[in-house]
Amino acid sequence: MPYYPMMVQLRQKHCLVVGGGQIAERKIGSLIAAGADDVRVVSPSVTDMIIAWERSGQVMIHHRPFEPADVQAAVIVIAATNDSAVNHAVYNACLPHQWINIVDRPDLCSFTVPSLVERGDLQIAISTGGHNPGLAKKLRRQLEQWIGPEYEAYTLFLGEMRRQVRALDLHEKDKRAILSELLDDRFLHWTKTGETRRRDLEAELLLTKRKS
């Protein structure tokens, strides 16, 4: 069954992770990195990293086995234990409106976590629907070679230029033309080579010409 791809904002969304091992740690780390600020962990034992996150106020840990009531009020539920019976019990406790990920049962997941290429605000998600994570990781490595670290600064540059263009007193068609020209490879090249002064001057000249 195909998935509907979307990016979600996790602030003030109750996230539950059942499990405290290395897989759970990776899942928790990805939630924190995405800005989740209400992460609960249920597990009799947890890794040192998860404990460190609790001490820094990034997660809350319940040091005990899972109970069905734990899923109440959770928007996102992740079952990441090494016990299939526990993971299935988490699934059975959830309601249809809750988003759930069972690490060892992609067929029971209502969402999967894609492999990501991240360059600042630029995120490229690669998913095989949970059925071939090895292929997703392989493609991610290939994309990381093609889309280098310069894309973080390039994305910031384009975002700032878009704000400036949208504020111009021009017809929408002219604004789209400017934004299209800003995507020319020369601006990416100057970002990659560190010629940001030249890039910014060229962009400023482009806006000035259009305004006149």
pLDDT at position 212 over 70: no
Give phi and psi for 39, each to the nearest 5.
-110, 120
Q: Where are the beta strands (DSSP E) in the chain?
A: 15-18, 39-42, 60-62, 76-79, 99-102, 115-119, 122-126
pLDDT mean across residues, the chain: 94
Q: Is the pTM of this model over 0.75?
A: yes
pLDDT, tens digit (0-9, with 9 covering 90-100), for 156-184: 999 999 999 999 989 999 999 999 999 99
